[in-house]
């Protein structure tokens, strides 16, 4: 396997993102690496909530406010441990997903950043850009895009 020491994975609590968490956990377990699970969320300020809802649509409830984000990373941590990861940390940070993921990868000196492919083939994703493609451009470490659209 590779020499990955720290793997960072993003989740929003959705089933596709938990598939990416499982894959990241498998890679971390095989490399005896630390796994850092990250969830970006929007603060509960009314104006911020409205902006997040505009950007996220029906899925906004998953990542608005710290309580849902904490629940999300706990569920993801349980998923990761079930997939074989032994050293798991969780982070819930205010901000938009791409910036939060790239900053977390930098802060934790990640060797690998894992994201799900969800949204890559949608019209919205092609027009606005997607988290996986933007993370790939901005990250200073390896990026693994897990196919989660099946």
Binned average pLDDT, 10 residues per bin, the chain of 150 residues: 87 90 97 96 68 62 64 95 97 91 97 81 49 90 86
Pairing of the two strands 34-41 and 88-94: parallel
| Structure-block tokens of residue 34 | 């630390």
- Residue 122's pLDDT is 47
- Are 148 and 116 in contact, with CB atoms under 8 Å apart? yes
Pairing of the two strands 112-116 and 6-10: parallel
- Residue 1's pLDDT is 45
Taking CA atoms, 135 is separated from 75, 79, 82, 96, 122, in Å, by: 23, 23, 26, 12, 17
């Amino acid at each position: 396997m590779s020499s990955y020491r720290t793997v960072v994975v993003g989740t929003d609590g959705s089933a596709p993102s938990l598939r990416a968490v499982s894959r990241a956990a498998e890679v971390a377990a095989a490399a005896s690496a630390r796994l850092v699970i990250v969830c970006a969320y929007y603060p509960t300020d009314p104006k911020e909530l409205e902006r997040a809802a505009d950007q996220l649509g029906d899925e906004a409830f998953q990542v608005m406010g710290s309580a849902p984000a904490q629940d999300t990373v706990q569920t993801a941590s349980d998923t990761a441990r079930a997939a074989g990861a032994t050293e798991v940390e969780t982070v819930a940070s205010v901000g938009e997903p791409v910036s939060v993921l790239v900053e977390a990868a930098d802060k934790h000196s990640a060797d690998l950043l894992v994201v799900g492919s969800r949204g890559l083939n949608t019209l919205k994703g092609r027009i606005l850009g997607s988290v996986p493609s933007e993370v790939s451009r901005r990250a200073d470490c390896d990026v693994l895009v897990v196919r989660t659209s099946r």
